[in-house]
Amino acid sequence: MEPQNAPAEDASDWLWQTCTAIVDCPLGPDGDLFAAGLTSLGVVQLVGAVRRRHSVRLTGTDIYDNPTVDQLGALITARIAHDA
Protein backbone atom coordinates (compact mmCIF):
# COMPACT_ATOMS: atom_id res chain seq x y z
CA MET A 1 0.00 0.00 0.00
CA GLU A 2 1.30 3.45 -0.88
CA PRO A 3 1.55 6.16 1.77
CA GLN A 4 -1.31 8.61 2.14
CA ASN A 5 -0.58 12.32 2.08
CA ALA A 6 2.91 11.74 0.65
CA PRO A 7 5.39 14.64 0.44
CA ALA A 8 4.57 17.09 -2.34
CA GLU A 9 7.52 16.12 -4.57
CA ASP A 10 6.69 12.42 -4.40
CA ALA A 11 3.00 13.16 -4.89
CA SER A 12 3.71 15.29 -7.95
CA ASP A 13 5.88 12.58 -9.51
CA TRP A 14 3.27 9.95 -8.68
CA LEU A 15 0.49 12.05 -10.22
CA TRP A 16 2.48 12.66 -13.40
CA GLN A 17 3.27 8.95 -13.76
CA THR A 18 -0.33 7.97 -13.07
CA CYS A 19 -1.76 10.47 -15.58
CA THR A 20 0.77 9.47 -18.23
CA ALA A 21 -0.06 5.80 -17.73
CA ILE A 22 -3.82 6.38 -17.91
CA VAL A 23 -3.69 8.41 -21.13
CA ASP A 24 -0.90 6.15 -22.47
CA CYS A 25 0.80 9.15 -24.00
CA PRO A 26 3.80 11.35 -23.09
CA LEU A 27 2.50 14.26 -21.06
CA GLY A 28 4.13 17.39 -19.70
CA PRO A 29 3.10 19.02 -16.41
CA ASP A 30 1.02 21.60 -18.28
CA GLY A 31 -0.31 19.25 -20.96
CA ASP A 32 -4.09 18.96 -21.18
CA LEU A 33 -5.18 15.47 -20.18
CA PHE A 34 -8.22 15.56 -22.43
CA ALA A 35 -6.19 16.73 -25.44
CA ALA A 36 -3.83 13.82 -24.70
CA GLY A 37 -6.75 11.39 -24.91
CA LEU A 38 -8.22 11.12 -21.41
CA THR A 39 -11.56 9.32 -21.67
CA SER A 40 -14.44 8.99 -19.24
CA LEU A 41 -13.05 5.61 -18.17
CA GLY A 42 -9.68 7.29 -17.61
CA VAL A 43 -11.36 9.92 -15.42
CA VAL A 44 -12.86 7.14 -13.29
CA GLN A 45 -9.46 5.45 -13.04
CA LEU A 46 -7.77 8.71 -12.05
CA VAL A 47 -10.41 9.56 -9.44
CA GLY A 48 -9.98 6.10 -7.90
CA ALA A 49 -6.19 6.25 -7.94
CA VAL A 50 -6.16 9.66 -6.21
CA ARG A 51 -8.65 8.46 -3.61
CA ARG A 52 -6.55 5.36 -2.84
CA ARG A 53 -3.26 7.28 -2.71
CA HIS A 54 -4.30 10.47 -0.93
CA SER A 55 -7.78 9.82 0.52
CA VAL A 56 -8.96 12.80 -1.52
CA ARG A 57 -12.27 12.61 -3.32
CA LEU A 58 -12.25 14.18 -6.77
CA THR A 59 -15.11 14.38 -9.22
CA GLY A 60 -15.10 14.31 -12.98
CA THR A 61 -15.87 18.02 -12.87
CA ASP A 62 -12.75 18.61 -10.75
CA ILE A 63 -10.64 16.96 -13.43
CA TYR A 64 -12.44 18.78 -16.24
CA ASP A 65 -11.86 22.12 -14.45
CA ASN A 66 -8.19 21.25 -13.69
CA PRO A 67 -7.10 19.30 -16.79
CA THR A 68 -3.32 19.42 -16.33
CA VAL A 69 -1.03 17.52 -13.96
CA ASP A 70 0.05 20.80 -12.34
CA GLN A 71 -3.53 21.97 -11.83
CA LEU A 72 -4.63 18.61 -10.44
CA GLY A 73 -1.63 18.53 -8.15
CA ALA A 74 -2.51 21.96 -6.78
CA LEU A 75 -6.12 20.89 -6.24
CA ILE A 76 -5.09 17.71 -4.44
CA THR A 77 -2.63 19.64 -2.25
CA ALA A 78 -5.33 22.19 -1.37
CA ARG A 79 -7.80 19.44 -0.48
CA ILE A 80 -5.21 17.66 1.70
CA ALA A 81 -4.43 20.94 3.49
CA HIS A 82 -8.13 21.66 3.96
CA ASP A 83 -8.75 18.23 5.47
CA ALA A 84 -5.72 18.40 7.80
- Tell me the per-residue pLDDT of 9-34, one tens digit each, with 9 for 90 and over: 677 899 999 999 999 999 988 999 99
User: How many whole angstroms separate alpha carbon 40 and alpha carbon 84?
Assistant: 30
Phi first, then psi, for residue 58 (nearest 5°) are -105, 160
Q: Tell me the whole-structure pTM to 2 decimals.
A: 0.85
Question: What are the structural domains, with CATH classification, of the chain?
Answer: 8-83 (1.10.1200.10)
In this structure, the number of other CB atoms found within 10 A of the CB of residue 13 comes to: 14
Contact between 20 and 27 under an 8 Å Cβ cutoff? The reply is yes
What one-letter code names the amino acid at 41? L
**Predicted confidence band at 1 (pLDDT cuts at 50, 70, 90)?**
very low
Per DSSP, the three-state class of 56 is coil
